[in-house]
Structures are given as structure tokens and as C-alpha cells.
């Protein structure tokens, strides 16, 4: 489903290379975990997948279902089924969350040639999804992420993911900032989305999340490259030895 | 020696002077009015249209910007349109003539033309006292009609009242006088609408809010892309009077909206709001002069501007706090979303404070659309155009939604949406 080939990317503004020849394949039905030290380029990779303009791909390619997405803007990628749950979701004053959700759902439907949702249908879907994530509807009357607590922001990201039903989900440190109960709720939400035609990429620092969302593959990202790939045992090994040990072995 | 006066007349100046010669015998008014009109045209001839050398016009060089003046059209076909608010009572000025006057409990009206002819109710046309009052001069010279309205003391006018000036281009010069009686409440929509034909429109309105009265005055300027609109609102707030003045400039080629306001009674309150949507080749100027003359008066001024294409905007906000006006509280802010490298916005805030115990502040910002916000919305599948629209709308909606009245908020937001659809 996702194939990243020898990807090189730099910060558009100053030319600093962050991703330095990264290869990664994630198949449909797979849950892949990406782990790596602070500053190794995990969030940068997720932004590049989503199409953020601040980064420039200088070499290599990103294939989604066999086709390059490099020429697609973020909205086109999202409508094609790619989704990024942000490590730091942005606050957008003045745009009501409900309105944002409705516009996003309908724009994606429009792009896929589906009818717009009726208001009652829309509200029903939001209500149901919010209930499973323990999200208060009152919160959704506020502007997007404005004044949400850290955990509320993360849950709101998963709410959006549930409503938009993407095919490729990238979760960037969704576990950080969540309390233990919320972590379980969010993990259940993600697990519910697991399926043969969907791939999930979980970026995390901690084994804990991976006990709830058990990955099929684990990849270690260091200095802009995937330096080691394994199964869930690799995550356990990391927990025991730390990055330094594991990365040294790989080098 | 006045060098400017020696410059040759521009095409527009010549056209105005010729037009006056052609029209003056048909314009309404007694001997006093005739002499006021003559004086106004003589002043125009002597001073010329103001250039940027005239302080009040520094950012709006009227002499350069008013490049042509359309001919007067006697038979232009125009019809009143639906009011912006459901259930509103509509007074219509069609091509500058009062054409529709509904009976509304608590409201009394006269046609300005009749008053000018007969000196009714002490209306006298006077040439402007100030040499830089080009809006007043043009309006005095050419005014053909308008509405004189008074709201009875303590009347609650339940239905909104729309004063609609609708035209089909040419020359449209109206003057209105509205007095809201003591303790009365009313909501007015002062709407200027027309076709895409070129027009020179001027309007002078005097609004007096008597003791304890509460008025909402919404100016909706939505004439065509070829319109030149020169307007001036005079506002007097007596003791305990409250006014919300909301200006929505949604179109026009050359727009100058002046507001000259004075808080003359203690505890008077003014909320001044303007939303200027400036696209295409439009030049849009909102100029506010506000005098706090007595103690304990309050004002807030918030201006939000959206500039696209080659749009140019201006906000001049002058607040003067007189020496006796202790405990004045005035807060002014002007924020601009500049969406084009070819557009611009000039802000000139001025606080002149002669009292020592006051709270006055002003601030101005110019920003682009936040790229991170845009990315976030697009990452959820919202197309760039829609995402930009949402963010622009959020920027102006903040002050629209302050109006609280749901129908009014909806009507204004629908117009802003339409503008975004056309210019986004
Ligand atoms: N727009 C940017 N401007 C400047 N530096 C940047 C930018 N984006 C990323 N970087 C730098 O690139 C490196 C990789 O950052 P990135 O956020 O991808 O790391 P990460 O692996 O997600 O780290 P963490 O685990 O702390 O979230 C860091 O050194 C970061 O400072
Ligand atoms: Mg990160």
C-alpha cells in the first residue's frame, strides 16, 4: 500500500537534509511501528507523507497504491485515503470543530464522487464516534483544538480518523499526553480500524502503546534512515537496551 | 499662492462642473439651498478634488482615483430588491429619489426633497465648512432626495428598517437624517446597492441618538465593481445613548466611507465595527473621527480587512478625547489579512488625548493566511480554496458574530461567503 523508495528530503527554507535515503514498505492489512530517537526525522517523514510544503523531496519517491503522491497536494492525498494524526495538532481559532468536520467529510466525499451527508446523518456519525472515544459533544462546539487539553487534542485526531475512514493511517506519537484510560480507548479505536484493506503506521517511543496496538513490523529510524526492521520483539529489545545499543548493532 | 488651484481641471472635475450647470435648475431646494449648492461647486472649483497633499485624503488621492464621472441618467431602470433581513420594513430610494415609504408604528418620515424645497423642520442645505470635505461638497451640490426619519421617544421598533438606495448607475446623491428619540430602540440597515454600470454615488447621513436610546446601524455597501461611493455618516450620541455602527464594504471600485461621531452625553457608548472585503482593483477607505467630549463615555473600534488581487484599503481612525472627558475608555484595533502581493492596506490610528484619566489604546496588524492552519485543514481533505475560505471567514466572522442577532449575522455572513466565492 505504501512504498517509500530511497527518499531524500530537506527543509525547504534552509536546505537542511533531514531524510537521507529512507526505504520503507507497508502492506495493506499491516500495522507497522516506527520508533527512533528524538530528532531522528519521524515527524518530518509523517509531514512529507501528508504533503507539507515546508519540506522538499530531492530524491526518491513515495508510492501509495503503486502511484507517486509527490505531485499531489495535502487535500488530494487525504481524499485518496491518507491520514496523519499529528503529534502536535494545531489550534485554529474561529473555525468551529463541527463545521470543520462537516466540510472535511463532505469535501472528501465530493472528491470521491459521493453525495454530501445530510446534517442529521452527519451529526449521528459524529455522536457515535465521539461516544466511543469518550469525547463530550460540547467540546466539538469550540473552534478546532482551541483550548483542548493535550489528551483532548489527541482524541480529537482519532475522532477525525474514524469519521474520515482513511486507508493509510499514520499516527505520530498519538500516545504522548494520554492518560492510561485514554490510551486504552484510543488503542481500541485504532484496533477497530484494523482490516485487510487498511494499513496503519504507528510512530511511538514506547512499548506501552504497542502492547495495545500490536504491530506486525517494527522499524527503527535513525538520522533520516530506517536502520533496522524486525517484528514486535524488536520493540521489546529497544525497551531493554535503548536506541544506542540497537542502532550500533545495526551499523 | 495656491499651486494646486492652478492645476488644470481633471476630466472628472470638468464633468462635475458641467453636470452641475446642466442639472442645477432641476435639483430641489429653496433659495437657501440654491446658494448652498452654488457655494459647494465654487469651492470644488477653487480647491479641486483633494489629493494626497490634503491630510484627510493622504491615502486616498481622490483627484487621481476619481478618473471619470458617469453622465446623469434620467430613465435608468431600477427596482427595489428584497431587504437583507426577513420581515424588514423597506424605505426605498430609487435612482436617488424616495420611492417607497411604508407606514411603521413609531416612525415618522418626510422626503428630503420636500424639506429642501420648503424649509420643513428646519432643514437647510449648507455648503461644507471644511475645505477638505469633498464628500459633503459633492453631495451638497447634487443631492436630489433622501429620507428624514424620526423614531418616537420610547418606541421599540420591532421590525428592522432597511433604508435602501438602489440604482442603475449614473449619478445618485442622497442625504438622510435620522433621529432616534429618547429611550427608543431600533435597528437600521443602510444599504447601497446597484448594477455593474458605472455610478457616482454620494450619501450624507446624520444620525442622532437621543438620551438612553439604543440603535444598531448597519451599512451594507454592495454596489457594482464600477461604483464610486462617497459617503459620510454623522453620529451624535447623547447621554446614556448606545450605538452599534457596523460597516460592511463588499464591493465598489472607489469607496470612501467617513464616520464623524461625537459622544456628547455622559455614559454614551459606541461600538464601531467595519468589515472591508477588498478585491479586484478596488480602493476602499474607511475614515473615522470620534470625539469623546464628556466624562464616562466608552467606545470600541474594530476593523477587519481582507485584501486580494490589486485591492487597496485604508483605515484612518482618529479619536479625540477632550479635556473634560475624564474616564473615557476607547479601544481601537485594525487587522488585515493581506492575500496578495499586489494589494495593500494603510492604517493611520491617531489618539489625541487632552484628559489625563483615560484608558485608550490602538493596535494594527497585517498578516497572511497561516500556512500551518491551511496545511492542517488540507490534510483532512479540504481543498485549498475551501480551506482558505474557511480561514478568511473565521477572521471576519469574529466581529460579525458579535452582533448577536442571528438573522443579521446570517445575512452578513451569506454576503461574505458570496464575496469569497467570487474572489477566493
Ligand atoms: N521546519 C523545520 N525547521 C527546522 N528544523 C526542522 C524542521 N523540521 C524538522 N527539523 C529538524 O529535523 C530534525 C527531525 O525532526 P523531527 O520532528 O522529524 O524528529 P522526530 O523524530 O519526530 O523527533 P521526536 O521524537 O522528538 O518527535 C530535528 O533536528 C528538527 O529540529
Ligand atoms: Mg516527532
Q: Which residue has the higher pLDDT, A184 or B215?
A: B215
Q: Would you state the torsion angle of the CA atoms of residues B334, B338, B341, B345, taken in this order, to the nearest 10 degrees?
A: -20
| A75, A92, A94 member nearest B378 (Cβ) | A75
Range of the domain at A52: 2-91+166-250
Q: Domain with A13 in it: what CATH number?
A: 3.40.50.300
Please identify, among B216, B240, B265, the residue that sits at the C-terminal boundary of a domain: B265
Which whole number is the average pLDDT over B358-385? 95
Atom 18, ligand 1: which residue's CA is nearest? Answer: A41
Give the tens place of pLDDT for each residue, B120-170: 666 778 888 888 999 999 999 999 999 999 999 999 999 999 999 999 999
Atom 4, ligand 1: which residue's CA is nearest? Answer: A11
Please identify, among B236, B265, B294, the residue that sits at the C-terminal boundary of a domain: B265
Nearest to B399 by CA among B252, B272, B232: B272
- For residue B204, name the pLDDT band (cuts at 50, 70, 90): very high
Chain B residue nearest residue A96, CA to CA: B394
- Phi, psi of A114, deg, nearest 5: -95, 160
Is B79 part of the contact surface with chain A (CB cutoff 8 Å)?
no
| A89, A90, A111 member nearest B381 (Cβ) | A111
Q: Distance, CA A41 to ligand 2 centroid (Å)?
A: 7
CB contact under 8 A, B377 and A100: yes
CA distance B328 to B330: 6
Residue labelled with grid coordinates 461644507:
B128
Q: Which atom of ligand 1 is nearest to the CA of A37?
A: 25
Tell me the pTM. 0.89
Q: Which atom of ligand 1 is nearest to the CA of A41?
A: 18
Give the tens place of pLDDT for each residue, B24-47: 999 999 888 999 999 999 999 999
Which whole number is the average pLDDT over B243-271? 98
CA B336 to chain A, closest CA, distance in angstroms equals 15
Listed range (A232-236, B243-247, B280-284, B343-347) with the worst mean pLDDT: A232-236
Which whole number is the average pLDDT over B4-15? 83
Is B220:B251 a contact under the CB 8 Å cutoff? Answer: no
CB contact under 8 A, B373 and A90: yes
Closest ligand to C-alpha of residue A206 is: 1
Residue B352 lies in a domain: no
Residue A149 lies in a domain: no
CB contact under 8 A, A86 and B372: no
Closest ligand to C-alpha of residue A14 is: 1
| B371, B381, B390 member nearest A95 (Cβ) | B390
Which whole number is the average pLDDT over B329-349? 96
CA B398 to chain A, closest CA, distance in angstroms equals 7
CA A37 to chain B, closest CA, distance in angstroms equals 25
Nearest to A94 by CA among B5, B126, B370, B147: B370
Range of the domain at B405: 371-424
Atom 5, ligand 1: which residue's CA is nearest? Answer: A11
Cβ contacts (< 8 Å) between B378 and chain A: which residues? 51, 73-75, 78
CA B383 to chain A, closest CA, distance in angstroms equals 5
Q: Distance, CA A226 to ligand 1 centroid (Å)?
A: 16
Closest ligand to C-alpha of residue A47 is: 1
Chain A residue nearest residue B395, CA to CA: A94
Residue A26 CB-half CA count within 13 A: 30
Chain centroid offset of residue B86 CA: 23
CB neighbourhood size of B359 (10 A): 10
Task: State the DSSP string of A73-115.
Answer: -HHHHHHTTEEEE-SSPPPEEEEEHHHHHHHHHHHHHHHTTPP
- Give the helix, strand, coil percentages of chain A, each rounded to 5: 40, 30, 30
- Exposure class string for A169-181: b at 16+ Cβ within 10 A, else e: bbbbbbbbbbeee
C-alpha cell at B379: 490534510
What is the per-residue pLDDT for B334?
97
Task: State the DSSP string of B279-325.
Answer: -TT-EEEEEEEEEE-SSS-EEEEEEEEEE-TT-EEEEEEEEEE-TT-
Residue A103 lies in a domain: no
Closest ligand to C-alpha of residue A171 is: 2
CB neighbourhood size of A188 (10 A): 14
Is B229:B286 a contact under the CB 8 Å cutoff? Answer: no
CA A95 to chain B, closest CA, distance in angstroms equals 6
Same structural domain for residues B376 and B232? no
Q: Distance, CA B98 to ligand 2 centroid (Å)?
A: 67
CB contact under 8 A, A94 and B398: yes
Cβ contacts (< 8 Å) between A159 and chain B: which residues? none
Residue B293 lies in a domain: no
Q: How many domains does chain B have?
A: 2
CA distance B385 to B424: 7
| A52, A86, A93 member nearest B394 (Cβ) | A93
Question: Which of A22, A43, A219 is the pocket-test mutation for ligand 1 (most atoms within 8 Å of CB)?
Answer: A43
| A90, A93, A103 member nearest B376 (Cβ) | A90
CA distance B49 to B14: 11
What is the per-residue pLDDT for A137?
93
Helices (H), chain A: 42-50, 74-79, 97-111, 119-132, 150-164, 180-193, 207-212, 232-250
Q: Distance, CA A94 to ligand 1 centroid (Å)?
A: 29
CB contact under 8 A, A92 and B397: no
Q: How many domains does chain A have?
A: 1
Regions in chain A scoring below 70 on pLDDT: 249-251
Q: What is the mean pLDDT of chain B?
A: 94
Closest ligand to C-alpha of residue A35 is: 1
CA distance A65 to A144: 31
- Rounded to a whole number, what is the distance in angstroms from the first to the last CA of chain A? 28
What is the per-residue pLDDT for A240?
85
**Could you give the C-alpha distances from B138 to A48, A68, B81, in angstroms and in order?**
59, 63, 27
Which whole number is the average pLDDT over B168-187? 97
What is the per-residue pLDDT for A222?
92
What is the per-residue pLDDT for B75?
75
Is B417 part of the contact surface with chain A (CB cutoff 8 Å)?
no
* Touching A: B residues 379-398, CB under 8 Å: 379-384, 386-387, 390-391, 393-395, 397-398
CA distance B267 to B296: 5
CB neighbourhood size of B307 (10 A): 24
* Touching A: B residues 313-372, CB under 8 Å: 371-372
Give the tens place of pLDDT for each residue, A4-58: 999 999 999 999 999 999 999 999 999 999 999 999 999 999 999 999 999 999 9
Residue B128 lies in a domain: yes
CB contact under 8 A, B377 and A160: no
Is B190:B220 a contact under the CB 8 Å cutoff? Answer: yes
Please identify, among B248, B265, B282, the residue that sits at the C-terminal boundary of a domain: B265
Chain B residue nearest residue A100, CA to CA: B377
CA distance A149 to A239: 28
Same structural domain for residues B62 and B205? yes
Chain A residue nearest residue B381, CA to CA: A75
Ligand 1, residues at Cβ distance < 6 Å: A 11, 18, 36, 38-44, 54, 87
What is the per-residue pLDDT for B1?
45
Same structural domain for residues B85 and B214? yes
CA B402 to chain A, closest CA, distance in angstroms equals 12
Is B310:B271 a contact under the CB 8 Å cutoff? Answer: no
Residue B114 lies in a domain: yes
Above 0.90 for ipTM, yes or no?
yes
CA distance B417 to B395: 12
Is B118:B30 a contact under the CB 8 Å cutoff? Answer: yes
Res B106 pLDDT > 70: yes
CB contact under 8 A, B375 and A111: no
**Could you give the C-alpha distances from B273 to B147, B198, B286, in angstroms and in order?**
24, 28, 11
Residue B271 lies in a domain: no
Which whole number is the average pLDDT over B210-236? 97
Residue B367: exposed, middle, or buried by beta-carbon count in 10 A (0-12, 13-18, 19+)? exposed
Res B89 pLDDT > 80: yes
Nearest to B96 by CA among B25, B173, B27, B197: B173
Amino acid at each position: 500500500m505504501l512504498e517509500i523508495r530511497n527518499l531524500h528530503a530537506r527543509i525547504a527554507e534552509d536546505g537542511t537534509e533531514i531524510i537521507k535515503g529512507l526505504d520503507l514498505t507497508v502492506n495493506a492489512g499491516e500495522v507497522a511501528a516506527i520508533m527512533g530517537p528524538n530528532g531522528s526525522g519521524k515527524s518530518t517523514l509523517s509531514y512529507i507523507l501528508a504533503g507539507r510544503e515546508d519540506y522538499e523531496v530531492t530524491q526518491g519517491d513515495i508510492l501509495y497504491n503503486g502511484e507517486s503522491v509527490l505531485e499531489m497536494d495535502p487535500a488530494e492525498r487525504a481524499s485518496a485515503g491518507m491520514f496523519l494524526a499529528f503529534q502536535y495538532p494545531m489550534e485554529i481559532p474561529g473555525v468551529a470543530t463541527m463545521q470543520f468536520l462537516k466540510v472535511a467529510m463532505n469535501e472528501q466525499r465530493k472528491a470521491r464522487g459521493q453525495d454530501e451527508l445530510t446534517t442529521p446523518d452527519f451529526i449521528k456519525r459524529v455522536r457515535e464516534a465521539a461516544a466511543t472515544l469518550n469525547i463530550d459533544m460540547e467540546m466539538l462546539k469550540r473552534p478546532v483544538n482551541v483550548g483542548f487539553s493535550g489528551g483532548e487534542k489527541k482524541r480529537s485526531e482519532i475522532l477525525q480518523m474514524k469519521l474520515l475512514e482513511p486507508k493509510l493511517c499514520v499516527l505520530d506519537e498519538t500516545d504522548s499526553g494520554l492518560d492510561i484510560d485514554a490510551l486504552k480507548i484510543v488503542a481500541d479505536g485504532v484496533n477497530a480500524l484494523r482490516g485487510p484493506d487498511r494499513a496503519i503506521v504507528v510512530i511511538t517511543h514506547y512499548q506501552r502503546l504497542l502492547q495495545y496496538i500490536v504491530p506486525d513490523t517494527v522499524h527503527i529510524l535513525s538520522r533520516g534512515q530506517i536502520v533496522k526492521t524486525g517484528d514486535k520483539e524488536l520493540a521489546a529489545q529497544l525497551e531493554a537496551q535503548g536506541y544506542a545499543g540497537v542502532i550500533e548493532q545495526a551499523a | 499662492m495656491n499651486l494646486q488651484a492652478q492645476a488644470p481641471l481633471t476630466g472628472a472635475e470638468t464633468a462635475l462642473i458641467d453636470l452641475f450647470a446642466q442639472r442645477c435648475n432641476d435639483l430641489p431646494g429653496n433659495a437657501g439651498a440654491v446658494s448652498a449648492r452654488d457655494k459647494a461647486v465654487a469651492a470644488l472649483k477653487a480647491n479641486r478634488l483633494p489629493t494626497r497633499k490634503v491630510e484627510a485624503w493622504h491615502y486616498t488621492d481622490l483627484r487621481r482615483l476619481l478618473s471619470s464621472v458617469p453622465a446623469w441618467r434620467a430613465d435608468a431602470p431600477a427596482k427595489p430588491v428584497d431587504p437583507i433581513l426577513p420581515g424588514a420594513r423597506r424605505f426605498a430610494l430609487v435612482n436617488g429619489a424616495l420611492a417607497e415609504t411604508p407606514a411603521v408604528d413609531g416612525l415618522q418620515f418626510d422626503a428630503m426633497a420636500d424639506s429642501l424645497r420648503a424649509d420643513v423642520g428646519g432643514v437647510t442645505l449648507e455648503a461644507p465648512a471644511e475645505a477638505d470635505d469633498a464628500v459633503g461638497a459633492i453631495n451638497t451640490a447634487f443631492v436630489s432626495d433622501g429620507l428624514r426619519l424620526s423614531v418616537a421617544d420610547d418606541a421599540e421598533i420591532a421590525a428592522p428598517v432597511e433604508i435602501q438606495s438602489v440604482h442603475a448607475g449614473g449619478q445618485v446623491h442622497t442625504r438622510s437624517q435620522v433621529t432616534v428619540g429618547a429611550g427608543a430602540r431600533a435597528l437600521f440597515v443602510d444599504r447601497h446597492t446597484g448594477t455593474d454600470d458605472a455610478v457616482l454615488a454620494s450619501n450624507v447621513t446624520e444620525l442622532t441618538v437621543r438620551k438612553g436610546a439604543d440603535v444598531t446601524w448597519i451599512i451594507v455597501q454592495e454596489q457594482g465593481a464600477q461604483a464610486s461611493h462617497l459617503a459620510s455618516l454623522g453620529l451624535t450620541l447623547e447621554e446614556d445613548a448606545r450605538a452599534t455602527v457596523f460597516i460592511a464594504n463588499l464591493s465598489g471600485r472607489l469607496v470612501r466611507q467617513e464616520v464623524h461621531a461625537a459622544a456628547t452625553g455622559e455614559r454614551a457608548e459606541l461600538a464601531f465595527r467595519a468589515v472591508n472585503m477588498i478585491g479586484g482593483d478596488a480602493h476602499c477607505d474607511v475614515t473615522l473621527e470620534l470625539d469623546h467630549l464628556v466624562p464616562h463615555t466608552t467606545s470600541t473600534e474594530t476593523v477587519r480587512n481582507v485584501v486580494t488581487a490589486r485591492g487597496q484599503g485604508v483605515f484612518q481612525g482618529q479619536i479625540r478625547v477632550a479635556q473634560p472627558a475624564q474616564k473615557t475608555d476607547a479601544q481601537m484595533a485594525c487587522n488585515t489579512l493581506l492575500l496578495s502581493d499586489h494589494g495593500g492596506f494603510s492604517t493611520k490610528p491617531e489618539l489625541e488625548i487632552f484628559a489625563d484619566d483615560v484608558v485608550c489604546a490602538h493596535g494594527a496588524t497585517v498578516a497572511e493566511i497561516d500556512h500551518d492552519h491551511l496545511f492542517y485543514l488540507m490534510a483532512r481533505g479540504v481543498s485549498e480554496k475551501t480551506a482558505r475560505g474557511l480561514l478568511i471567514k473565521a477572521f471576519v466572522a469574529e466581529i460579525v458574530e458579535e452582533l448577536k442577532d442571528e438573522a443579521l449575522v446570517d445575512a452578513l455572513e451569506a454576503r461574505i461567503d458570496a464575496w469569497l466565492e467570487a474572489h477566493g
